[in-house]
Amino acid sequence: MSHQFIGLLLLVLAVAAGFYVSSHYLQLTSLQLPVPSALNSVQLPSSAVLNPAPAPVISTASQTVTQKPVTISYVTLASSGQSYTELALVADGGSQQPVDVTGWHIADKSGVSFTIPQAQQLYSFNGPQSDIALKPGDTLRIFSGPANIGNFRMNKCMGYIQDRTSFTPPIPMTCPTTDPSATVDFSSQCQDYIASLNACQNPSANPPVPPSDDKCFAFLQTLNYTGCVAAHQQDTDFYSNEWWVWVDDKMNSFDPTHDKIQLLDTSGTVVDEYTY
């Protein structure tokens, strides 16, 4: 077969193909090939997801709770089996600064109120008084009845005052004990007498001691409140965390059955209230 004939044949086929395409164009463009069902169920892996939704933001901020600087811890009425009414205030143990409560008011539901007075930081006979600044965790105990020697912060020598003066309620008799090594050079009678004294007991004006035992008599003169303070004022545990004050009959207006007792600061704002 000659090359001319083959070329002529190819030309005829190309013309025929072009004629077929032009006459069937619409059918060819609408042709859809079936997709195997197995391909329709293929799921993309999660790592292939584009632009994933951002994770929700969880706030860890907590609400700030306002702590009361001072709270009314309890109220005990005289009708509850004791001869006096007592109210206790406690300073917030988590606070950073002392709270000056002198000048604050205690009021009952009838509107009767009284002012928290001053007291002595270190008790001394007829000493000056100052504002009561409650440190974190301190307690102010307020009693009905007269203040026989004034109001004060408790310290570990105050039992010597109780031995001389009657208090209601009584002051704990928990004074420092005498070191036996301090009395070894005294007469036997003196050592026996000192050993017989109770904690916070002031010695007798005429102790059973030989008159010649001058060292003993000098030592006995230190067994009192003034001598105790001089010896122990620098102790880390000298001061108690309690203040004691008396307000005469100012709590007699409290209802003996049910009442609402409020603590108000100097601006008249209610700091805390106690109901019973």
**Every domain of the chain and the residues it spans:** 67-156+238-276, 176-236
Q: How confident is the model at residue 16 (pLDDT cuts 50, 70, 90)?
A: low
The class that CATH gives domain 67-156+238-276 is: mainly beta
Cβ atoms of 190 and 218 closer than 8 Å = no
What integer pLDDT is reported at residue 13 of this predicted model?
60
pLDDT tens for residues 140-197? 999 999 998 999 999 999 999 999 998 999 999 999 999 999 999 999 999 999 999 9
* Arithmetic mean of pLDDT, 31-44: 47
Q: How confident is the model at residue 12 (pLDDT cuts 50, 70, 90)?
A: low
Cβ atoms of 249 and 243 closer than 8 Å = no
- Residues 6+ positions from 105 with CB-CB distance below 8 Å: 113, 114, 115, 116, 263, 264, 268
Q: For all residues of the chain together, what is the average pLDDT?
A: 84
pLDDT tens for residues 189-214? 999 999 999 999 999 999 999 999 99
Q: How confident is the model at residue 41 (pLDDT cuts 50, 70, 90)?
A: very low
Read off the pTM: 0.74
pLDDT tens for residues 214-246? 999 999 999 999 999 999 999 999 999 999 999
Q: Is the pLDDT of residue 43 over 60?
A: no
Residue 187: name the closest of 204, 167, 211, 205 by CA. 211
- Residues 6+ positions from 67 with CB-CB distance below 8 Å: 92, 94, 95
